[in-house]
Every structure is written in C-alpha cells, then in structure tokens.
Amino acid sequence: MDWTDFLAALDTGLSVLERRLQDLSVDAPEASRPIAPVCFETRQGSAGADRCYIGCGEPAAAEDRSLYLNNKLFDRDAVTRLVLDPERQAQWRSLLGADALPERFFGRFTLVVEDASPDSCLGLILFLATQNGVAAGDLPGDWIRYTLQWERGASRVSDPLRAWGPLLSALAHGHWSVESLQAAALEGRPQSVPEALAPGQAWLSCLRFTLALLLANQPPDAIEELPNGEESERAYAFLRYEWQVYLQALEQAERLQLLLPMQGDGRRYKVVDACLLDEMALCGAKKIFLRNDRTHSYLGDGFGLMALYRPAETGTGDDMTISVDPIAGVHLRDLWERLEHLEDERWEGRRPNDAPRALKSYPGGRRPDGTPSPNQPWWDDHGRHTLIGAPRRLADGRLGSRLEWYPHVLEALWDCYEPTRNQRFIDGSGRLKALADCAAEPVADTGKRKLSLKWPRGGQVGPETGLPPQGYEPALITPTFQRCLAACLQPGGREARRLANLPSIDSFDFLQVPGGYVLIHAEGVLVLDDWRSMPLCEEAVDREIAKVAERLHLLRETGESAQGLFEQISMHLAKRRWRRLGSMTTLDRLAEIKLRMRAGLNRTAPVTDDAHIAAFRRALECRWAIASEIETIDRTIDDLEQSLRSYTELRSGRLINFLTFIGFPLALFAGFFQFIFEGMPRDWSAVLSWIGVETQPPGTESASPHWVGLWIYLGVSIGSMLVIGAGWKLWRWWEHRLADRRGSTPT
C-alpha cells in the first residue's frame, strides 16, 4: 500500500470511528453504555487486549497484549519517533495482524490517550501507515520534522494562524473542558454522555483535519490555504478565540528579562524575555503565541521562557511548568537543581523514594550521592532541562510536590536568573560588590537615599576571589534590570529585592544623561556611570538633588507652620476666643509664611542649560511630589486666608447689624424729642451738678434736661429696638420654614 492509498483507507477508518461515537450518543447509565472508542488514561477502566495507548500507559503484566505507543517506556522523545522504529514495528505487526487496516483498527481498538497533541495524532497516522506497508521514504518528511521540533518545544512559525500545530491544539481544546473531565475522574463520579464523547470527538476532528491537509499536500508550518470543511473552520475559529484569551492573559502576566546560561560550557549567558502567567482557562496555542510574539516582548524575539501555573491541573505534573524555547540555546538546569533541593527541604527527609520514577538526571533511580531518587521528582525533559514540570501525585494519592507557585517556584526562578545576579558594581565606597551589597547613602534629612554605581574595569578585582569578575562587562539594561536597580533604593534590604516586592516599571523614571544613567524613585536616586567617552555629569546631578532636597525640607517646614496656624485658628474659633485671634496679626503671619516659601522656591529653582539635567530635575520633583506639595500648601494657605477674611467680614457684619438695631431708633426719634436737649449745659461742670457735685458758685442757676421727655425718648427707642429684634428673628424663622418646604438652603 502506498501513501496515497493509505490516506484513502484512513478516511474510511475514520468513518468507523465516527459510527462508534454515534453509538455512544445514547442516554443510558455509564455501566450499560458501549465502550468509548477514545478515552483518557484516567477513564480507561480495567485493562484489556483491545486498547491502544498513545503517549501513556504501562504494561500491567508480561502477557499484556495491548498496544503501547508510549515513547516514555522506550526512552524516545516523541511518539512519532517511536513508531518509526523498525524493531518496534515488527512487534506491533505480530499483535495486529489483519487489524492493521484503519477500518478494522478503529472498529476493534479503544484509544487511551493523554491528549490530542500533534505528536500523538501524527504518531498514530504514521503507526497505521507503517503497519500497512507504506515505505519510510513515502512518509511526509516535512511533517515528521515539524512534529519532532514541536515536541522538543520549538514552535517558531511565520504565522501561528497558518500553522498546523497551533490550529490542531486549538481544535482539540475546543471540544472538551479538561477541568471537568479530570474532576469527574478524581471525584469518582460517572461521566455524562458529553464528557464521554469529548475525547473521541476531539480525536476524530483532529485526525480529519490532519488528513485533509495531507491530502492537499500542504506544508505543516506555512499552510497556504485551509481546506474546505467543518474541521478547518472550527480550528481557525478556536485559534482566533485563543488569541483573544492570550492577549487578555498577557495583560495580567509578569513580563521579565532574565539572564539564562547557554547550552555548552556554561560560561556564556543570554538575556531572554520571560512571561510568568496563570492559566485559568486552558489554551492549547498559548505557547505558540508566546514564542512568536515579537510585539509584546521587549527584545522583539518572542518570549524565550514561559512559566505557566494551572491550578486546575494540580497533581498531574502540568500544574507548574517552566520551559524555554529550544531555539534560544539556553537551559534551566540550575532551576531544576534548586527546586529539587527545596523539595527535599519541604519534605524534611520524608520524601517517598521506594519506587523512583525514571529520570535522565537520576540514572538508575539514584542521586549523585548514591541515595535513592524520589518517586516523583521534578521533570527534567530527558536531561535537556528545557522543560521543567512539577511532580505528579504519589501512588497513595498525596501530592508529589510540597512547593507553592508564588513563594517557592517563582522566587527560585528569580534567584537563579535575575539579570544582575552575575554583575559586580563599584559603589560609593570604591569597592567591587554585588548589587545586593551596595549601600545607598541618605540625602540630608529628607528620608531619601542616593546610590552611585560604576561598572568595574578590567584592572579591578572581586572581593571574594581577588580576581577580576567574569561578568564585569556592562549588561543589557532591560526594564527588569532597571527594576533591580530601583529595588536598591527601597527599604527592607534583600527582602525588597524578591520578585514579589520588585518595584513596577511605572514606579520610577530611568533617564539617560551625559556619561550614564539616572534612576529616579520615590525613595531616592540611583546614578550609574557606564564609562562612556563623555564623563558623567554627577556634579550637576548632585547639585539638583541638593536643591530639590532643600526645597523638600522647606515645604515640610512651611506645611508644619501652616498646619500649626490652622490648628491655632480652629482652637480659638471653637472656644469663641475672638479677641485672642487677632485677625490682622494672623493674616500677617500667613503672608509671612507664603513670602518665606516663595523666597525659598526661587532660591532652589533649577538653573541649567542642559536638556538632560532639566529633564532629570523635572522627573525628580515629580517623583518626590514637590509640585503636589507646593500646590497643597498654597491651597491650604489660601483657604486659611480666605476663611479668616470671611470670618472677619462676618464679625464686621454682625457689628454693623448690632449698631443698626441701636442707632436706627435713636436717630429716628431724636427729631421728635429735640426739646429735651435744649436745656443741656455747654460745659461739664453743669453736668456734674446733676449728680450732686457743686462746681459753680452758690446762687448760680444751672440748666437741666427735660427729664420726662428724656425717659420717654429712651423708652420708645428701647421698645423699638426690641420690636426690630423680634421682627428680625421672626423673619429668619419664616425664611427657614419656607426653605425647608422647598428643600433649599436659606440665604
């Protein structure tokens, strides 16, 4: 049978698989349903001869005659490579016999799978092709190469929307909810009909989609035109959906640039973009999008490191994974060793090791020191350390890992590969130190700090070895590198440099100045001299820092003075001590405070012609909240002044009202009672005689007022005052009542 004939036979065989799925679509109890033609390993039931395990499974006994297309059993990196092994092909042929024909194969065997990946799907197709006599030279070599690269993690394509791998992954994930299927298995509850159908429907769609592309002779990595059919349309639609899910997840992800060791002698390091994210909704094409995302990655070469946390996959080994793009040429061996060490510590010497899992890094189930390796170690990707996966559940049902994602795994990743880990700097003391050991100096009494750093030159040596450091060359100053520098200004020491406490990129400014860089943070300033041909203008930077520090101190003093005056005014008003308030004196004090502040602001104003220093000064005042502090103090003083003036006007108005109540009746009735003043004396000596003090010679007749008229005048005036006061109160009462009815405030 040649390749073309086989593809036609495969199409017939898929029709048989479809009929078996249709027979399963009945509303019957799980025990009485027909056997599902495709199921996950967790739902395979009891062992039997008519099963074909793809990428999973292990013979229960020597006489077990099931088909095991499990590359892990035979130390192969992919199912596709395993099925091309001539020795294995002969063994399988003896088990299959005439049932190698696709029509009979799908009618007899139940597929037990772990996923519907490109490697599993193409591996099954190639398995059936070789069992039906298709020569190795007739097999599609480009598809085989693509699948093997995919399985190794290489997923670089020109357009993910036109590549078989991403389309197939999206098509498979569009058929099932892995969370619900695994929950049903772990809880031991019966599967519903849709849950039982989902794996088979996914595999049928994936096989038909792959068959359509093979029949159209399309390349797997650059599909020119999708074939017509439901599977192609569904694959494209779900891949578009996963692209939207990816963009949403990217907004919540932690994006870093990490320094990873390269494959080889381990003395070279490479900066790669890393994406750390939680995956709540499983996305089959997320890895492809990350690897090929040249828009959102800082270096423009996609995310070379991907760390995924899937809480719904706890215990499967896929809940915590860290992988690197093989094409990047880096590895994660240091991280794998760190995680294994942390795991041993968390288990406190009781880590199960009675049945070690086969692992390349633990040959023969032994550690390098000869002790037994754990039953469930961290996966090492066949010793390549390009993919690290969490331990699976133990045989007794316990979790194989005691590490948590955020405090343990991600912090271990950061400790191993943070970009300044191998760098050494010269700080203000003139000594060569690691960045974590460089100490910042206080800036006056502002509570801020300043750290001056320089790259070391070849003649300088490290404090530990007395030799020049290997990584003394200036590093690539990425956003993550800048965040590490900013962390040196935060209080808290090394704790502030943990990944969880790392300053965000929006919390500081990183500016280039002649001869180096300056980093401005709310906690201080970092100056980095990068040994350019132009010397660093650190004197100008220090001058501006000193001016801003003086300005900050001035504003704090002014704010305290204004606040003290405000409290004093509030206290006097609360205790109705108007005389002690002294309005004009207080206004003078406010004017003095404002004048002193303005004089200080003018004294500390920037004076520079350098655009870089001017930009640094603006950024420094912004991060240290100078402008907002000035605005706050100005507003406080203006409010105090306005309030004080309003209060003074209110007191004056009350005095005028009081004088009006008294003066109006007196002036009104004075015209009617003028006669009472006609006899008034013209000097004070006569007035004294009214009260019995004789100052005039005896016999002199003194004039006296009209006492009856005077008392009537005073009585009428006082009565009028009382009437006016009562009328005013009545009017205010009536005005308040009307205002209450209208729901407004009286004037």
Cα gap 512→519, rounded to integer Å: 9
pLDDT digits (tens, 9 = 90+) for 189-205: 555 667 778 888 999 99
Last residue of a domain, one of 600, 633, 655: 655
Phi, psi at residue 596, to the nearest 5°? -65, -40
SS3 598: helix
650 shares its domain with 661: no
Comparing 27-31, 482-486, 632-636, the range with the smallest average pLDDT is 27-31
pLDDT digits (tens, 9 = 90+) for 285-305: 888 899 999 999 999 999 999
What is the DSSP secondary-structure string of 288-307?
HHHHH--SSSTTSS--SEEE
217 shares its domain with 336: no
Residue 456 lies in a domain: yes
**Which pLDDT value is given to residue 178?**
52
Higher local confidence (pLDDT), 225 or 696: 225
Residue 747 lies in a domain: no
pTM for this one?
A: 0.77
Last residue of a domain, one of 356, 388, 417: 417
**Which pLDDT value is given to residue 141?**
94
**Which pLDDT value is given to residue 466?**
44
Q: Give the number of domains in the chain.
A: 5
Half-sphere exposure of 175 (CA within 13 A, CB side): 21
Kind plus residue range of the DSSP H or E element containing 53: strand 51-54
Residue 56 clears pLDDT 90, i.e. is over it: no
Residue 315 lies in a domain: yes
Cα gap 485→477, rounded to integer Å: 10
Residue 584 clears pLDDT 80, i.e. is over it: no
Kind plus residue range of the DSSP H or E element containing 453: strand 448-454
In this structure, the dihedral spanned by the alpha carbons of residues 404, 319, 323 and 418, taken in order and rounded to 10 degrees, is: -20
34 shares its domain with 115: yes
210 shares its domain with 277: no
Q: Cβ(391)–Cβ(374) under 8 Å?
A: yes
339 shares its domain with 390: yes
Last residue of a domain, one of 536, 557, 583: 536
pLDDT digits (tens, 9 = 90+) for 166-194: 999 999 988 866 555 455 545 555 556 67
Q: Cβ(506)–Cβ(479) under 8 Å?
A: no
439 shares its domain with 528: yes
Higher local confidence (pLDDT), 680 or 564: 564
92 shares its domain with 236: yes
Give the largest CA-CA distance in the chain. Answer: 164
Domain range enclosing 592: 543-655
Contacts 24+ apart (CB under 8 A), 722-727: 724/661, 724/664, 724/665, 725/661
